[in-house]
Chain A
Amino acid sequence: MEKIFLDTREMEHPEPLQLSLSHLKTMTETQYLYMLNVRKPIPLLEIAKERNFLSFSHQDANQIWHILISKNRQISLEELLDV
């Protein structure tokens, strides 16, 4: 699986949402988005859910959110978590 890495921790709102959505729109079955953010991006996760994407979110010990989203629903995103 090809990782699309997006670190939005120092981006001003709503740049993280804009960038992540543009990645989701062009994503193929062999790619997944790996996003780092300081907040849980609820709207992005809602959009992903509505569009039938697979998503997984995890907050690490430093309070950073790791957001993984894939078009391919057959994979385990949890295994791709990098903490």
Chain B
Amino acid sequence: MFSQGGLSLEQAPPISVVFRFFVTASIFGILLGLFLVADSFGLSLTLNKSVIITHTLALGIMASFMLGSLFQMLPVIAGVVIKMPTKKAMVVHILFVVGVIIQLYAFAYTSTPLLYFLASAYLGVGLFYALFLMLKELIQIKDHSSSSKGMILSLSSFGLAILFGIYLLWSLGGYLDGSLFLQIKELHYSFALFGWLSLLIVSVSFQVVEMFYVTPKYPIWMSKYLTISIFSILIIKSIAIFMGFPSQFITALLTILFIIYGVITIHRLSLRKRPTSDATVWLWRLGIGLLICSMLITLVSTFINIPMEVEMLNYLFFIGFALSIVFAMTYKIVPFLTWFHLSNQGYIEAPMMHDIVHPKTVKKHFYIHVAMLVSLALFIILDYKILNILGAILVLASFGWLLYNLIYAIKKYNYTQKYTEKFEW
């Protein structure tokens, strides 16, 4: 990995730090697939279906991927190091996973208030600890890049989303009167989706799009001012909501900024200096394309009422955007990290990146991913039950395939360490 900030070998996190979060995300994805398959046959027994699906996606899958990626990308992109990452990642991981499971259980069986409190305790402590570890190092950087600044804003947004989430859980558990429930709920998902998730992808893209795909740099005005503008708008939106002012125009402004970012990113990707066939680029293009579609629908919906089907498509497009980028990043990080550690440890027969995750493997995942999105989009439009079942099975296949590839990489790593010779050089 290349960084102006610096990455020494001791600073590169052990693969267990990153892989534990990626494997967890894949398992939550498989569980989501199973839930959707059961639901498509009318077998799910809960009324809180949408909130369970949303939080499995946002926390179980996306937050797991993001935490794992951050442990890996912080030294690379921002040049900061989290000392003793193995132990710290394990503490975060355990608290986080237990918290997510309790939270999903609480949503499914709403009659147990204590579960809401326990979920908020585990998730709150686990995630705030992770934020503390990362922000503590990030704010000490002397020479900030646009990515490191964006990461600070993204993590701060995540902190606010968690705080709002705790308020919502305590309200649901009956520990608070919940008089601000609707306002806080809007801020919770605004900071989680626009602030944490999208801002993190935007910040990281300023470096990785250029580095991974050899594209021209983003315009300076964009890399310098976009993330701070998005964060500021979110803060203004929060104030407007609490003051009871209309916030549609603020949301519209936010969507316009994301559309501009999306168009420029697609354009940058079209200017690759060595355009080779690479499914991770396809995933980036798909993801950013879906972001543009989602933001266009959100923009229109701030001024006119849109049909329920279009609103559902909007959710699907946004999920498709986030998952596409996360898959693209995972398929870059996993082979690199495996190869980097083995190569540095001096194993002569360290597998090359293509041996760990073959490009054809990523292409297969891309096709499954696209088929899943198309099936679910057609189900929303046509309402054929068979498309719902097919979409659910493809969710299962998508995360199952990812988990298989992760396990393959881990096995390859362990095999090389166990059975091949080291080379002193």
Contact = CB atoms under 8 A, between A and B. Distances in A.
Interface residues of A, number: 21
Interface string B51-81: 0000000000000000000000000000100
A39 B2 CA distance: 7
Contact of B273 (A10, A13, A40): A10
Given A25-B423, A47-B344, A51-B425, A13 B1 contact: yes
A46 B8 contact: yes
Interface string A24-59: 110000000000010111110011001100000000
Given A43-B2, A43-B7, A18 B353 contact: yes
Contacts of B9: 43, 46-47, 50
Secondary structure type dominating chain B contacts:
loop
A11 interface: yes
B174 interface: no
Contacts of B8: 42-43, 46
Contacts of B276: 12
Interface residues of B, number: 28
B6 A12 contact: no
Contacts of A25: 423, 425
B274 A11 contact: yes
A21 interface: yes
B397 interface: no
Nearest to A14: B336
A39 B213 CA distance: 14
B34 interface: no
Contacts of A46: 6-9
Contact of A24 (B6, B214, B425): B425
Given A10-B273, A25-B425, A42 B339 contact: no
Kindly name the residue among A16, A37, A39 whose own CB sees the greatest number of chain B CB atoms within 10 A: A39
Kindly name the residue among B1, B9, B212 whose own CB sees the greatest number of chain A CB atoms within 10 A: B1
B393 interface: no
Nearest to B424: A51
B301 interface: no
B352 A43 contact: no
A7 to B, nearest CB: 12
B3 interface: yes
Nearest to B332: A13
Contact of B2 (A16, A24, A50): A16
Nearest to B217: A38
A10 B7 contact: no
Contacts of B336: 14
Interface string B273-312: 1101010000000000000000000000000000000000
A17 B1 contact: yes
Nearest to A12: B214
Contacts of A41: 2
B2 A42 contact: yes
A42 B4 contact: yes
B343 interface: yes
B5 interface: yes
B143 to A, nearest CB: 13
Given A14-B353, A40-B4, 18 more contacts: A11-B214, A12-B274, A14-B1, A14-B339, A14-B340, A17-B1, A17-B2, A25-B423, A25-B425, A37-B2, A39-B4, A41-B2, A42-B4, A42-B8, A43-B3, A46-B8, A50-B9, A51-B425
22 contacts: A12-B212, A13-B212, A14-B2, A14-B339, A14-B353, A17-B340, A18-B339, A18-B343, A24-B425, A37-B2, A39-B2, A40-B4, A41-B2, A42-B6, A42-B79, A43-B2, A43-B3, A43-B9, A43-B12, A46-B6, A47-B344, A51-B425
Interface of A: 10-14, 16-18, 21, 24-25, 37, 39-43, 46-47, 50-51
Q: Which 5 A-B pairs have the closest CB atoms?
A: A42-B6, A39-B2, A46-B8, A10-B273, A13-B211
